[in-house]
Every structure is written in structure tokens, then in C-alpha cells.
Chains A and B, each alone.
Chain A
Amino acid sequence: GAVVSQHPSRVICKSGTSVKIECRSLDFQATTMFWYRQFPKKSLMLMATSNEGSKATYEQGVEKDKFLINHASLTLSTLTVTSAHPEDSSFYICSAHSGQGGTIYFGEGSWLTVV
């Protein structure tokens, strides 16, 4: 079964609203989680590194005020897309590291459509 769970798997929101995506590690504690974005027919691009109890580290070009990341516990990181626009429509996927031998688990991904 899944060890990293994302919710929701699909979401449609109106322009200007905010939407939150959750990423949970189910069987382990993850001090670090990662958020990726994937445009259609493109590769996964790292958006930010989510650190438990501290501020996220954003990749160059990613607007930190638009993509708010909160990692309040060792099993949960959230990505909030604020004031969403149609160009934010994309597939968002998170990953977490189990801390043992470099095993990385990915969530199922979340399809965001902004209308």
C-alpha cells in the first residue's frame, strides 16, 4: 500500500481562490518532504523542500508567496496555491524520504485545474 498519501487527487477551483494539497507519510516520520510540479508531457520539476518545523526552501523561480508550504508535523506537509490562476493548473506531486538507505516515496499526485 501507499506509504505517502496525497489529498485531494483531483481538485477544480475558481480563479482567485486558494487550494490546499496535503502530503502525508503513513508509515514513517519524514523531516523533509519535497514538492514537485509537472506540466503536461514534461518532467517533474522540484518546487521546494519542506522542512519540519522550519521554513521551506524554494527553488529558483518559484514564488514562495504563491505556493505556501507548511510542514507542521513529521507526517504532514501542505502546499497551498494562493490566488490561483489558470496557469497554475498542473500535476503536483510530493515525496518523502524514509531516512533509511535513501528510499524515497512519492505520493499519488494531485491534479489541479483552475477555471
Chain B
Amino acid sequence: AQKVTQAQTEISVVEKEDVTLDCVYETRDTTYYLFWYKQPPSGELVFLIRRNSFDEQNEISGRYSWNFQKSTSSFNFTITASQVVDSAVYFCALNRARTGGFKTIFGAGTRLFVKA
């Protein structure tokens, strides 16, 4: 069975603070994809990153960084120097990389509030 756990329901920080959103996943597949999406109040899902299971390199994109550790089945997301515009719900997701099995399993989401 596949599962994605985002234990943090809500996080509140003050602008310029760093914040890490946790994601733990479960899968028996050896090949899979992990994603992070941002969902602002308007509802659309904004793609942030995709990582395949064979690439454990950490990635940095501006103020965003991701730490993928297969040993702990975690794919954590850090926002450095947070801004009010970062306020949104963030979803971690898992997808099987097999033909015909592209259902995306979402975590429960973490609602981030960044206060000015």
C-alpha cells in the first residue's frame, strides 16, 4: 500500500523565519516519484518539485530546498526566509512510475501561515 504522511497540520511563522515541512512516505515500489505542490486559496495546484526514487540529491531552488532521504522515507521541504506570499497549503505526493499506475497519492497537506 502507498501512503503519504504530513504530520504537521498547520504551521505559523513570522516573516523571514525558516520553516520545514515534513513528509514521510510508504511504498513497496522500488521506482516512484515524489512531488511537492503548493495550493493557494484560489485552489489550483502549483507544481514545485518532482524527485524520482533513484535521485537522492538534495535540491535548492531559490528560497526552496528539498531533502530526500530514502533511508527514512522522507522528503522534507524547507522554505528559507519565509514571506507572506508563501502562505498556502502544501501537499507532498507520491506516484508510481509504472505504466497504468499513475494515481497520485496525496498527503493530508500542511497549512502554512506566514505573518508579516
Q: Which residues in A have some Cβ–Cβ distance to B below 8 Å?
A: 32, 34, 38, 41-46, 49, 91, 93, 95, 97, 102-109, 111
- Tell me how many residues of B have a C-beta within 8 Å of chain A: 22
In the complex the two chains form, is B44's CB within 8 Å of A104's CB? no
Residues of B within 8 A of A102 (CB): 33, 50, 52, 95, 97, 102
The distance from the CB of B49 to the nearest CB of chain A, in whole angstroms, is: 12
Q: Which residues in B have some Cβ–Cβ distance to A below 8 Å?
A: 33, 35, 37, 43-45, 47, 50, 52, 91, 95, 97, 100, 102-109, 111
The interface centre, meaning the residue of A41, A44, A93, A109 with most chain B CB atoms within 10 A of its CB, is A44
The distance from the CB of B53 to the nearest CB of chain A, in whole angstroms, is: 11
By secondary structure, the A interface counts as strand
The distance from the CB of A35 to the nearest CB of chain B, in whole angstroms, is: 11
